[in-house]
Amino acid sequence: MDVATTLPKLLMIAWLLPLASFAITSLGYSVPQFLGIRVRYSTQVYAAYIAIGAIVLGFVLSCIALFGCWLPAHPLTAASHEGGEHAAAQEHATTSPSLFRYVAQHEAQEAASHAEEHNNEAPPYITGDWYALGIFGKLRLTIGYYIDTLTVTMFAMVTLIASCVHIYAFGYMHDELHDYTDHEVHLADGEHLHRRGRFHRFFQYLSLFSFSMLGICISGNFAMTFVFWELVGICSYFLIGFYIERQSASTAANKAFIVNRIGDFGMLIGLMTIWSTLGTFNFGDMKAADGTVVPGVFSQLHRPENHYRIAPTDSMIAFEGRNQIAEAIRKAGSTEPVAMEATVKAEVARLRAEDGTKWGHLLLFVAGVGIFCGCVGKSAQFPLHVWLPDAMEGPTPVSALVHSATMVAAGVFLVGRSYPLFSAEALLVIAVVGCITLFIAATIAVTQYDIKRVLAYSTVSQLGFMMLALGLGGWVAGLFHLITHAFFKSLLFLCSGSVIHAVHSNDMRHMGGLRKKMPITAYTMLVGCLAIAGVGVPFLAGFSGFHSKDAIVEQALSHWHHNWADGFSWLLFVVPVFSAALTAFYMFRLWYLTFAGEPQDHHRFDHAHESPRSMTGPLVLLAVFAVIAGWGLPSFAPGPFANFSIPNLLEQARPIGTLASKPGVYLSDLFIPSEHIAHAPEMFRPIKLPAGLAAITAAIVGIFLATVIYLWKSVSAAKLAAAMQPLYQLSWHKWWFDELYDFIFVRPVHAISAFIAQVMDRGLIDGIIHTLAWIARGCAMVVSTGGDRWVIDNVVDTFAEKTWNLGLSLRSLQTGRLRQYVMFIVVCTIVLFIVASVWRIAVAGP
Amino acid sequence: MEDPIYWPSFFFLLFSAIACAFAVAVVVTPNVVRMAFYLVLSLAATAGLFFLAGADFVGAMQIMIYVGGTLVLLIFGVMLTSQDRFISMKTSNFELGMATGVGVCLFILLAVAARSIPEWHGLTAQQVAEIPLEPTAAPLGMGLLGARVDSPDRSGYLLIFEIISVHLLVVLVGAAYLARARRSRSGFSLTSDG
Amino acid sequence: MTQLTLASILTQPVGVSHYLIVGAVLFVCGALCMATKRNALGVLMGIELVLNGANLNFIAFGSPYLRKASETMGLDGQLMSLFVIVLAAAEAAVALAIALNFYNSFNTIDVDRADQLQG
């Protein structure tokens, strides 16, 4: 079987299964409900079975795709530090079935050997179109696929976590299987809201959500990504607003949706830049119908003649240097098309060579930052991070899915996917935004008491870590953290859901001592906390978070090492390490407050119980993954499992031209170091050792402080808070971001709207309309009283009255007697004759 | 000079006397059975008048359809409804008197009108003798089929014939429907009304 | 103008006017019958008489023997009277059906009792 044909089909089925589930449940449940038929609860259960079946089957297919198709065709190599990547690329090239490579392999080798530092060419991938939505001139909007190692890995991860969440939700959402009383909704009459359960609808949305996320993963071009991007947005809107009757839920859903739109606006700008300068949306090189290869976005920017380094295309340079080109054409004086084209080419070449390579870089920067804007919204980065904590209003399984595998992962995934697009400056923007985000979120999480809110801020913070890693050149590190984080964060959320299910409260001050009541939840959550804190033995093994966080810190240190001279790059190392300590601190604070110590609320404690098996099962499974996700298999493991580890997988997926370091263009000091520099043996002492020690020290310090304060209670938390009152207030009020946005954006908008409503609408437009209406009414009144009532009504009334009277008078003639009628006829005939005769005699003469 | 009796006129007088006499008898008699009998005689005499006027086919039809068909129908009706109280129903004298007055007026009117045109008073015997005797059945049949043999410039009666045949069908179906036996009398709500 | 005496009638052919007078007698008798009979069947018979009177007129106007050949209606009169006979038969059938229905419904045949339509 050919991998190039099998794999897209496999993944397409895995992708479309949740859609089928959504369609079936829509037709089977929502349509009847819309028509007013009540779906029985015993029937609603089947919606869950359908959705779970679809996603589990999708997971099985993804595993087959990964281990059965992809890895046998593209075996992994052990991560070697020098030249390993090059060898791997070479090996992939010989085994790859990809037809779309546009450079012969030996040429690439030659080009690379001339470079001062080797760079990688495109990883093995399979791309193509399934269906063209529309073709507008050059623009092709298609549903296509771009399958590389990253796609396959994401598929396996997303379907695995979605399966766990689906199964977990089957237990968690059981309340919806009977008529539901929402205690958080107070109706006008003081009663709580009673409504029908909507079990099926939840699973319907979950299916659509999974489908959308898988669509982003498999998407073959930016346009399709954007479509599914928005689909993910609308699904999150539905799910966050699942308890739509609650004011807070509907507000949170709106907030998530609106904040995301802001980011998507930037993304649209990025997409426009890409299309107008590169003329395509495809990621990979696509073979056209006539056999010619149409280069995709990535290979246009990373051309072999530049040693796969990022370089603006001719069209970008031509756009930015249009004045120079016009000048050159004027000088050449020829208006022949061929000559003009030659002039343009020569001028572009001159501009490219001139003054470094600054021409065209601005567009590149705009495209990169534009795409990143979308990711800022979706992944809740610094200016737009405010929606994610509010998204806790949705049911907990949704939070788990949103926070790990789908919504927020989509942003990081897209940065990873479009990584070849980012110039050094754009990467710096990403890193700085990530750094700010991770610090702010970590500080806020320290003081919150809502268990889901703490987790939400920790998600924001961890997403900041990913963005920081990606921005500092650590492509593998960032996506590695994305995957490990997906495991332990979904685990943490599902555990918190289990706790909330048991005590019916989100507030940690109502919990405490719960580990005796619900041991499975407590210890799986402990595993999650250890994983997110990044506990492990340096250079040996640890929880999954340890490996990925270690890689990030290493990359940060590497960056500092290479940008020693500038004044601020140390911040990009120190702040993450400090935040890592904060992470460990607040996670263990959460665990101690919830599970350790004495019960705070005995009533709730007495009612607490371990969750059903459908909920604890996924917990245990995810806990296992949270431990081992960072580990790797040795090279002698059988078949496709040889060298299997997530970093190795990602190393194989490394996008074109991202291996080499990227020097800045505008910021000449800037140097985004290659990820492999830190792994070099000679760098062990300056980078790897301090980074590893810093990471583990931060984790241990954080855990130790939390233990001191919340387990041993040697230091009173309240006193500590009082001592650092300003800082505590800053954290407690979430840096006043909501208030700030309210003041800067919401209030002015309200004020302007109110002004426009009052002056423009009510005053001007309403005034005109009212005047017109008044005039029309006056005319109508004149016509009504003068014409209608008087003339027409009088005529009609008189006529009716006369008819009525005539009828009354003629009534007496109608005796109902047949014989009299005959007599009438005869008499009338006689009378007629007589009249006629008299007439004849009188008028015409005898 | 004493003219010899012109026999057609004699028969005319005879038949018209019978027809008129029995017509008056129909009006005068109160008994419905006798009315039917007198009507038969009156109509039969009318058929004789038709023959005298040269309309042999129509006269035959008069006897077959009227005397043979319609009156049988009427007599059936009389028999079906012949309870004693309905056999002879008296009309008030005032009504009778008024009807008679009106009838006489009408008759005078019609008679004066009939006599007022000289051309209608008749031909001479010689003129009548010159007219050839022709059977009318065949021309009537042709006329009903659309071809006029007596006066080719006039149009036939095919369409009217068709309309009348359809009309007859409808009427007979309607009559059968109306007269069908009703088992329950309570179906009609007007019965209680006096 | 010829004298309308018994003798002159017996010695001369009759004309249209004689037929018309006989028709008028039948017509008036029929009308009186309709006007005076309380029995519905009597009314029906009156109608038959009226139709007969009319028929007689048609025949008279169509006959070649009663007035000048140039003025007669020819076969048209006879055809008309044929149609009248047929229609009279149809009318008799329907009227009889109505009468029977009336009798079934009201258990009487007196037309004076059928005055539900009075104003």
The pLDDT tens digits for A364-374 are 899 999 999 99
Chain A residues with CB-CB distance to C43 below 8 A: 818-819
Residue B105 sits at the chain C interface (C-beta within 8 Å): no
pLDDT band at residue B2 under the 50/70/90 scheme: low
Could you tell me if residue B151 is inside a domain?
yes
pLDDT digits (tens, 9 = 90+) for A320-359: 888 888 888 888 777 778 888 888 888 888 887 776 657 7
Q: Which of A341-350, A477-486, A624-633, B33-42 is predicted least confidently?
A: A341-350
Residue B79 sits at the chain C interface (C-beta within 8 Å): no
pLDDT at A634 over 60: yes
Across A136-141, average pLDDT: 79
pLDDT of residue A623: 92
Do residues A95 and A73 touch, judged by C-beta distance below 8 A?
Answer: yes
Closest by CA to C90, choosing from A279, A323, B69, A246, is: B69
Across A676-700, average pLDDT: 82
Chain A residues with CB-CB distance to B104 below 8 A: none
Q: Is A567 helix (H, G, I), strand (E, B) or coil?
A: coil
Residue of A nearest to C29 (CA): A826
Chain A residues with CB-CB distance to C31 below 8 A: 822, 825-826
Do residues A420 and A656 touch, judged by C-beta distance below 8 A?
Answer: yes
Residues comprising chain B, all counted:
194
* The pair of three-digit structure tokens given for residue A26, joined into one six-digit string: 């829509």
pLDDT of residue B194: 36
* The pair of three-digit structure tokens given for residue A529, joined into one six-digit string: 């906390």
Provide the CATH topology of domain C15-110.
Answer: Helix Hairpins (1.10.287)
Q: How far is C-alpha A411 from the chain's CA centre?
A: 6
Across C88-107, average pLDDT: 85
Radius of gyration of chain C from its Cα atoms, rounded to whole angstroms? 19
pLDDT band at residue A298 under the 50/70/90 scheme: confident
A370's CB contacts (< 8 A; 6+ apart) are A266, A267, A268, A269, A270, A271, A272, A273
How many CB atoms are closer than 10 A to CB A688? 21
Phi (first) and psi of residue A132, to 5 degrees: -95, 120
Residue C13 sits at the chain A interface (C-beta within 8 Å): no
pLDDT digits (tens, 9 = 90+) for A222-275: 989 999 999 999 998 998 888 888 888 888 999 999 899 989 999 999 999 988
pLDDT of residue A649: 86
Q: Region of A190 please: left (phi>0), alpha (psi -120 to 50) or beta.
A: left
In angstroms, the separation between the Cα of residue B153 and the nearest Cα of chain C is: 12
Chain B residues with CB-CB distance to A830 below 8 A: 102, 105-106, 109
Across A778-791, average pLDDT: 85
Between the CA of residue A176 and those of A201, A394, A619, what are the distances in Å?
Answer: 10, 14, 22
Question: Smallest Cβ distance to B109: which of A819, A823, A830?
Answer: A830
Comparing A58 with C115, the larger pLDDT belongs to A58
**Dmax over Cα atoms in chain C, in whole Å?**
57
A348's CB contacts (< 8 A; 6+ apart) are A314, A317, A318, A321, A325
**Alpha carbon distance B170, B177 (integer Å):** 10
* The pair of three-digit structure tokens given for residue A379, joined into one six-digit string: 């992944």
pLDDT at A773 over 90: yes
Which residues of A sit within 8 Å Cβ distance of C? 810-819, 822-823, 825-826
ipTM rounded to 2 decimals = 0.88
Please name the residue ranges forming H helices in A629-756: 646-653, 689-706, 717-723, 725-732, 737-741, 747-755
Residue of A nearest to C37 (CA): A819
* The pair of three-digit structure tokens given for residue A707, joined into one six-digit string: 């233990």
* The pair of three-digit structure tokens given for residue A573, joined into one six-digit string: 């190392």
Domain tally, chain B: 1
Residue of A nearest to B101 (CA): A827
pLDDT band at residue A599 under the 50/70/90 scheme: confident
pLDDT of residue A306: 77
Chains touching A (at least 3 CB pairs under 8 A) are: B, C
Give the domain range for residue B139. 135-194
Cβ separation A830–B105 shorter than 8 A: yes
pLDDT at A135 over 70: yes
In angstroms, the separation between the Cα of residue C11 and the nearest Cα of chain A is: 32
Q: Where are the domains of chain C?
A: 15-110
Q: Is A666 helix (H, G, I), strand (E, B) or coil?
A: coil
Cβ separation C115–A815 shorter than 8 A: yes
Range among A76-90, A344-358, C63-77 with highest mean pLDDT value: C63-77
pLDDT band at residue B3 under the 50/70/90 scheme: low
pLDDT of residue B187: 46
Across A386-407, average pLDDT: 85
Cβ separation C85–B65 shorter than 8 A: yes
Average pLDDT, chain A: 84
Chain B residues with CB-CB distance to C93 below 8 A: 73, 171-172, 175
Residue C37 sits at the chain A interface (C-beta within 8 Å): yes
Cβ separation C55–B62 shorter than 8 A: yes
Neighbouring C-alpha atoms within 13 Å toward the C-beta of A689:
6
pLDDT at B170 over 50: yes
Could you tell me if residue B154 is inside a domain?
yes
Chain C residues with CB-CB distance to B48 below 8 A: none
Read off the DSSP letter of residue B91: -
pLDDT of residue C119: 63
**Alpha carbon distance C94, C110 (integer Å):** 18
pLDDT at B191 over 50: no
Question: Smallest Cβ distance to C119: which of A814, A819, A825?
Answer: A814
pLDDT band at residue A83 under the 50/70/90 scheme: very low
Question: Smallest Cβ distance to A823: which of B102, B109, B113?
Answer: B102
Cβ separation C37–B89 shorter than 8 A: yes
pLDDT of residue A174: 84
Chain A residues 782-821 with a CB less than 8 Å from chain B: 819
Question: Smallest Cβ distance to B43: which of C15, C52, C103?
Answer: C52
pTM value?
0.66
Handedness of CA A611, A612, A615, A621 (dihedral sign): positive
In angstroms, the separation between the Cα of residue B129 and the nearest Cα of chain C is: 9
In angstroms, the separation between the Cα of residue B193 and the nearest Cα of chain A is: 14
**Alpha carbon distance A24, A391 (integer Å):** 28
pLDDT digits (tens, 9 = 90+) for B101-131: 999 999 998 888 888 888 888 888 888 888 8
pLDDT at A116 over 60: no
Residue C67 sits at the chain B interface (C-beta within 8 Å): yes
Chain C residues 49-108 with a CB less than 8 Å from chain A: none
Residue A833 sits at the chain B interface (C-beta within 8 Å): yes
pLDDT digits (tens, 9 = 90+) for A282-297: 888 887 777 788 888 8
Question: Smallest Cβ distance to A826: which of B95, B106, B113?
Answer: B106
